[in-house]
Amino acid sequence: MRFITFDKNGVDQVGVRVGSDLVDLSLADPKLPRTLLALIQNDLLKQAGEAAMKAPASAHRSLEGLKYLPVIPRPPKFFGLGTNYASHVTERPETPGFFISSHYRLTGHNQPLHIPKKSKTLDHEVELAFVFKKPAWHVPAKNALDYVAGYTVFNDGSVRGYGTAITLAIHKSSDNTGPLGPEFVTPDELPPGCDGLTIQLRRNGKVVQKDNTKNMFWKIHEAIEMASSYMSFETGDVMTTGTCGGTVADTNRGKDMRDESLPFLKPGEVIESEVEGVGILRNPIEMEPDSKTVKI
């Protein structure tokens, strides 16, 4: 099953993609929760899929013109794992880099990514992400995939000019720099742990990042075991799994990342983040606006 979170008259709503249509679950079965997070929390994904397959034509709508939102706009925790591909680091670390960042960075498919005024050094990082199905604490690797509700695509837009790894949580938390979507895909549609899938990013149509999830240092079941040995996770938490080589930082390794003349993302560009079988995120690049309304 493939779920999409979208804006319906200013309200978050979840639907199921059936063929080339989106089935609005609020119309297919009004008794179901209205968000993907609530469906996962109440173990209702299967029931939602069944309702979508039986939905009348009136519950179907075109994907054309849909305003996509992050698949889970406000996850309980948004947890990042880094340094997970050999193509992105000079040597394998003893442990991956872990960080928690703000949900205000999240945005949807076809929505603009914002270059912050503070530092115009926005970099791209295509990643596979997954959502926790149930609470996890000290989970052994052999059982870890049982804790995964589904998968999606993420771009870990990173503002390099904010500083070094000391400020990791800051340069990975700028508003509207992390698209998450376009779809949430249940595990039955993908290989176990999404192993062996091509991951790539296109910048203005040109492939600049490409690798395969089989090359991750820590596969998803191993990442869950490691992270849950340090902290607990709850239903709906999102974990990203690191990017591969080809970022601006990679191609300019050794240079001062505060130098805005380096080939960071510029207004008017378009990036497409893709994980084979999971989806393609498309996002135009814009400057941060002068003002905005903060959504609580």
Domain shared by 144 and 35, yes or no: no
Domain shared by 19 and 86, yes or no: no
Q: What is the pLDDT of residue 167?
A: 61
**Residue in the structure block whose two tokens are 């925790």:** 77
Mean pLDDT of the chain: 94
pLDDT exceeds cutoff 90 at 258: no
- Report if residue 252 sits inside a domain: yes
Domain shared by 148 and 227, yes or no: yes
DSSP letter string over 39-56? HHHTT-HHHHHHHHHT--
Mean pLDDT, residues 21-40: 97
Mean pLDDT, residues 148-154: 98
Contact 115, 191 (CB under 8 A): no
- Domain with 45, as residue range(s), is 2-62
CA distance readout (Å), 247 to 73, 184, 189, 238: 25, 25, 29, 22
> What's the CATH code of the domain at 264?
3.90.850.10
- Report if residue 143 sits inside a domain: yes
Contact 122, 157 (CB under 8 A): yes
Q: What are phi and psi of 122, to 5 degrees?
A: -80, 125
pLDDT exceeds cutoff 60 at 165: no
Domain shared by 52 and 105, yes or no: no
- Report if residue 132 sits inside a domain: yes
- Report if residue 296 sits inside a domain: no
pLDDT exceeds cutoff 90 at 63: yes
For the segment 69-113, what is each residue's pLDDT rounded down to a tens digit? 999 999 999 999 988 998 888 778 888 888 899 999 999 999 999
Return the amino acid letter for 233: F
- Report if residue 191 sits inside a domain: yes
Domain shared by 10 and 54, yes or no: yes
Q: What is the largest CA-CA distance in the chain?
A: 58
Domain shared by 229 and 92, yes or no: yes
Q: Which of 18, 35, 62 is the last residue of a domain?
A: 62
Residue 269: burial class (beta carbons within 10 Å; 0-12, 13-18, 19+): middle
Domain shared by 162 and 56, yes or no: no
Domain shared by 124 and 254, yes or no: yes
- Give every CB contact of residue 268 below 8 A, 6+ residues apart in sequence: 284, 285
Domain shared by 35 and 148, yes or no: no
Radius of gyration from C-alpha coordinates of the chain: 18
- The domain total for the chain is 2
Domain shared by 29 and 125, yes or no: no
Domain shared by 188 and 215, yes or no: yes
As a whole number of angstroms, the distance between CA 37 and CA 132 comes to 10
For the segment 83-92, what is each residue's pLDDT rounded down to a tens digit? 899 888 877 8
Domain shared by 156 and 186, yes or no: yes
The conformational region for residue 45 under phi > 0 = left, psi -120 to 50 = alpha, else beta, is: alpha
Q: What are phi and psi of 234, to 5 degrees?
A: -125, 165
